[in-house]
Amino acid sequence: MRVQIGLMPSPKLLSKRSNLSLGYIDPATGKDLGPNPKQRIFHNLMVRYRGFGGARGGGKTACGVQEGIKLSVMYPGNVGLIGRYYLRDVLDNVVPELLKWLPPELRTHNQADNKITLWNGSIIYYKAVEDEERLLGGELGWAFVDQAEQVRLEAIMNLDGCIRLPDSTRLTNIRNLGLEPEDVDFKPGITHHLFATANPAPGWFKDWFIDDATPIELDDLDLQGNKIVILAKEGKVFIPSLPKDNPHLPKDYESNLRRQHPENWVRRYIEGSWDVFEGQFFDEWNDRVHWVPMDPFALPGAAESPHFRGIDHGTSKPTCCLFAVYDRPYIYVYDEYYIEGAPVYHNVAAIKDKYPDRVFWATWIDHRTNAKDQSGFTGLHSIRSQYQEGGISCELAYQDVPGGLNRLKELLRVDPELVNPFTGQMGSPRLFINSSRCHNLRRSITSAQYDTRSWYKNEAPQDRIKRIDVDPLDALRYLTTGILVTSIKRYKGSWEIKH
């Protein structure tokens, strides 16, 4: 994906009406406060979908508000919307930021209609985006969603559908103020934009901007003199911004937070880790520890240790098959097969083609696949029997869901007395995931979270899990439970599996 940098004007824009500067101008002193290097890149990106932030104190809200002002000035008669999940948060946090950077001489504020009109006919609305059904109408040139991790995907999709403002509406807005197009330097042609800021959390923002995105190193330098890296994915771009990128914070801001708060909080809100979030079920997970590049044909113990598979079959949902080797006490998950809506015969062929010369000593599959129906040509058949007829012999997976989840947490926990097979250092988990091939599995692990609703608070942790991407996680549970519960004994150079 090509990312175009530096094609938009600077956000420091001069008002023709009053010669007042717009941009990061301190209204009290008139001093230009920015933008910082990462905010500048955000303002210069020529893409429809942009994300910014990822931590506390990185200048997220100011950046989003400034972008809205810029687009409203660049395109006279534009219509924009600024939203957060709750209206109270918009009024308390976003509107003051907007009014701070817009001098009173350049705007009128209709609080009854939640509407700010600029001198050039552009309109900025502010509202809650908690009810997606109320976002089905209207035409916008741009929309900014602050704290987007709190907002449902349905609301974002409905909002995106409204971003289609034509030039004819811009002309109408200008003339409603008694102005003519030449009075505000009107030029036809408008670019449409949806941009959002967020703190790390699972959900649509992470799916859109973070997961499986490609890092792109720019020539621009951050405040520490390092080249800035942004994430690009399918027409979307994310610019990470941390407290260290904001030169206007108190000098001891970051050090105080690091000293006062637990490690996971610091990783999420100071370091911008998207693998740590409130209610995270597998809080043992750490990319730097568990997410390891592996060669499936040169694994530790691969030649003499047994290989296994775990399958979670989906008829209308995805099917996932995981491949692992067990080199006691370590389990290495080195590959995955993941597809949605494929028939059994397609899955069988694809799974067998992955490693046609490798012997798998056991394959565990969901016990629900043992139910028989009339899908076969010769009478009652089950999904499991179809896999077996295709050449994949499957054992029924253990049904103990809480126990299986607890075993996964134990496998991910770092044992200080265990040697890490990749680093040779003391302190290692017993489960490693291949960072080269198992992206869906990683997403499933890192998105699993507790259900925090009050009536679940007294339940055991393993009974409160709310899984966002369930299929790879279930396949992993079948696989690891099968390996650990099954008694595996070395006997005369071969592996004998006994239950």
CATH code of 39's domain: 3.40.50.300
Do 293 and 410 reside in the same domain of the chain? yes
Do 68 and 191 reside in the same domain of the chain? yes
Model confidence over 310-327: pLDDT tens digits?
A: 999 988 788 999 999 999
Do 191 and 334 reside in the same domain of the chain? no
In a domain, 270, yes or no: no
Do 38 and 165 reside in the same domain of the chain? yes
pLDDT of residue 17: 42
In a domain, 254, yes or no: no
Do 292 and 240 reside in the same domain of the chain? no
Dist CA 498 CA 491 (whole Å): 12
The residue among 245, 270, 300 that closes a domain is 245
pLDDT of residue 456: 41
Residue 115 in contact with residue 127, Cβ under 8 Å? no
In a domain, 164, yes or no: yes
Nearest to 116 by CA among 129, 130, 131, 100: 100
In a domain, 463, yes or no: yes
In a domain, 137, yes or no: yes
Burial of 29 (0-12, 13-18, 19+ CB in 10 A): exposed
Residue 169 in contact with residue 79, Cβ under 8 Å? yes
397-402 — which CB contacts under 8 Å span 24+ positions? 397/310, 397/364, 397/365, 397/366, 397/367, 397/477, 397/478, 397/481, 397/482, 398/364, 398/478, 398/481, 398/482, 398/485, 399/367, 400/481, 401/462, 401/477, 402/460, 402/462, 402/463
Averaged pLDDT, groups of 10, the chain, 499 residues long: 37 42 70 85 92 91 94 95 91 92 90 94 92 77 94 91 95 95 93 94 89 89 89 94 90 90 84 76 86 83 84 89 93 94 92 93 92 58 90 90 88 94 93 91 83 46 52 93 71 45
Range of the domain at 320: 288-498
pLDDT of residue 332: 95
In a domain, 266, yes or no: no
CATH code of 342's domain: 3.30.420.280
Do 208 and 292 reside in the same domain of the chain? no
The residue among 188, 215, 245 that closes a domain is 245
Domain count, the chain: 2
Do 294 and 232 reside in the same domain of the chain? no
Model confidence over 209-249: pLDDT tens digits?
A: 998 899 999 998 888 888 999 999 989 999 999 999 988 88
pLDDT of residue 28: 72
Do 105 and 216 reside in the same domain of the chain? yes
Q: What are the structure tokens assigned to 210, written together?
A: 């973070």
Peptide bond into 215 cis (omega under 30): no
In a domain, 81, yes or no: yes
Nearest to 66 by CA among 174, 144, 151: 144
Do 59 and 196 reside in the same domain of the chain? yes
In a domain, 299, yes or no: yes
